[in-house]
Chain A
Amino acid sequence: MNRLLVSLLALCALVFLGGARDPILVPEVSQHQINLQQGFNGTDLLLFGAVLTPEGSRAAQDYDIVVVLKGPTQSVVLREKQKVAGIWVNAASTELRSAPSYYAVASTRPIADIVDEKTAAIYELGLQWLQLSPIGAIDPEEQARFSAGLVARNVDAGLYREDEGGVSVSEQVLYQARIRLPSQVPIGRYTAETFAISEGRVVASASSEVEVRKLGIERAIADFSQNWGFAYGLLAVFVSVGMGWLAGRLFALV
């Protein structure tokens, strides 16, 4: 009798503990390679996947899902225009060591409702939590102004985006988010990260990579212009002189 009770308790404990264990996250991206070539006019990237309990069954509770697509970071100079003597000129600047060239975040609910500020800052969830690493000591107020400026500028350019409610979860298992990449996406290796969040805690995360690259003739032209500048210049001159001359000849016949 006692032994039965003990084993029953043990089973209960196992189930209980098992329930508290981290869920399994199976993420996938619709395209692992994005090719910039003729006809490319931006694309939608689908980040989707499944959240399961450790036993592999459907989750008993709702998880919040946050997906982040981040382009390669770069060191940039951020300049701010101010009105000097009646005209707008670049008057102030700051250097940022790790500005993402592209950043998109989508979530099931507003991020402020899902996690507290500390967690959001640690995982860089949301445009206001980007870690830009300014170079040199500037005061926090100025830093905040510049960060907001960079974000506003890149949101306008379509390179930074935040979509609260952009992740939909069906049957507590399958989630999906559609993220827009505009035609001017920078090339490089992107990371797509997925976070499952429960009660303000990131309980599971997984990441995969997406490569954005130029392909075919576009890549050839870009490489040519970078590696053989002189020959590329000659080609451009040849094309322009040739076209001008040809047009003159053709219209002389008309």
Chain B
Amino acid sequence: MDVYLPIANLSVNGFVIVGLGALTGILSGMFGVGGGFLTTPLMIFYGIPPTVAAASAASQVTGASVSGVFFQSRRGGVDYHIGTVMVVGGIIGTGIGALLFRLLERIGQIDTVISILYVLLLGSIGGLMAKESIQAIRAERSGKKIAAKKRRHHPMVASLPMRWRFYRSGLYISPLAPLLLGCAVGILTMLMGIGGGFILVPAMLYILGMSANVVVGTSLWQILFTTIATTMMHALTTQAVDIVLASMLLFGSVTGAQVGSQFAQKSSPVKLRLVLAVIVLLVALRMAFGLTYIPDDIYTVAPL
């Protein structure tokens, strides 16, 4: 089934795109991540221009997180107070991201920067996740329990001025910390077309020290609004949101997400985390390979 993409200016096989959406949807249902980190690189490998891929992946992540937010807010898993601070940071971040995007595009280094960001972020987080889940699996086998880390926010967070109480998260910290975190993720969303869940969740746990039962819901809340802001920002600046492409991705991913969540209920969470870690590391490796091995496209063309 050939589908012509009016913004990307090329025709693609619709089944491939829907399949790609379904694949990331299954992942997002299984692991609670948006899956943007997988959609964007896969679309680029398929031949879709990087900017269009990143811009359209953001709206796919929006769709994937909607039902998660509804579910989490019903069970009281969203701290709206800290969540709203983070969303404000996220919107500021998308603005900064848009400026960075334009600057890097002008000097011709946007693709390299995106690839390096992917390698660094996915490599380090995938590595951490793999290490943790291997430890957990070993502990499970030997029957020992690893002592849960004491929940405590990072000393740097404590040194920030001004303090607010965030009751649901059980925190009394400076609002600047969640604001900056939201901002950083907003920049990454704009540049890389990712939702940032796999960065947000560990950062909220280990840097902010939020209580675990609101982490997933609040991160979904932040992702929902930051990706909405990103879609708007792309529509206004790069004009690279391809609604036909996004719709096909969404169709695949929202269906896949439901399938994935059925899967997740049947399998062990520790093993799931290890699988996710391996996938994340594979994407990082593929990106590193693209940076160091002689590329197919030594020459690239951009309009003046």
Binding site for B on A (CB under 8 A): 36-42, 74-81, 83, 86-90, 93, 95, 99, 146, 149-150, 152-154, 156, 183-184, 186-187, 214, 217-219, 221-222, 225-226, 229-230, 232-237, 239-241, 243-248, 251
Contact = CB atoms under 8 A, between A and B. Distances in A.
Given A241-B62, A245-B67, A80 B3 contact: no
Interface in B89-142: 108-109, 111-112, 116
A240 to B, nearest CB: 4
Nearest to A86: B292
Given A74-B304, A153-B300, A233-B231, 9 more contacts: A76-B304, A79-B302, A146-B299, A214-B6, A222-B6, A229-B235, A230-B236, A235-B243, A240-B63
Given A234-B232, A240-B59, A78 B299 contact: yes
B254 A99 contact: no
Interface residues of B, number: 55
B59 A221 contact: no
B64 interface: yes
Nearest to B293: A88
A233 B241 contact: yes
Contacts of A187: 9
Interface of B: 2-4, 6-7, 9-11, 59-60, 62-67, 70-71, 108-109, 111-112, 116, 228, 231-236, 239, 241, 243-244, 246-247, 250-251, 254-255, 257-258, 291-292, 294-304
Contacts of A245: 66-67, 70
Contacts of A186: 9
B286 to A, nearest CB: 14
A173 B276 CA distance: 66
B255 A236 contact: no
A239 B241 CA distance: 12
Given A87-B291, A226-B239, A236-B59, A247 B11 contact: no
Contacts of B298: 80-81, 88, 149, 153
Contact of A88 (B63, B108, B295): B295
A90 B110 CA distance: 10
Contact of B7 (A225, A240, A251): A225
Interface majority SS on B: helix, strand, loop or mixed?
Answer: helix
Given A226-B239, A233-B235, A239 B11 contact: no
21 contacts: A40-B11, A79-B301, A80-B298, A81-B295, A86-B292, A88-B291, A88-B294, A89-B109, A89-B112, A90-B109, A90-B112, A225-B243, A229-B235, A233-B234, A233-B241, A236-B246, A240-B59, A244-B63, A244-B64, A244-B250, A248-B258
Contact of B250 (A37, A154, A234, A240): A240
A247 B11 CA distance: 27
A154 B109 CA distance: 21
Nearest to A93: B108
A100 to B, nearest CB: 11
B258 A76 contact: no
Contacts of B257: 247
Contacts of A247: 63, 67, 254-255, 257-258
Contacts of B109: 89-90
Contacts of B243: 221, 225, 232, 235-236, 239
Nearest to A146: B299
Nearest to A232: B235
Contacts of B297: 81, 153, 156
A246 B297 CA distance: 41
B70 A75 contact: no
A79 B110 CA distance: 12
A39 B4 contact: yes
Contacts of B235: 225, 229-230, 232-233, 236
Contacts of B292: 86-88
Q: Closest 5 CB pairs between A and B?
A: A233-B235, A248-B67, A244-B66, A247-B254, A183-B11
A188 to B, nearest CB: 12
A41 B11 CA distance: 6
Nearest to B238: A229
Nearest to B243: A236
Contact of A243 (B7, B234, B247): B247
B258 A251 contact: yes
A244 B60 CA distance: 9
A47 B109 CA distance: 41
B291 A225 contact: no
A149 B298 CA distance: 8
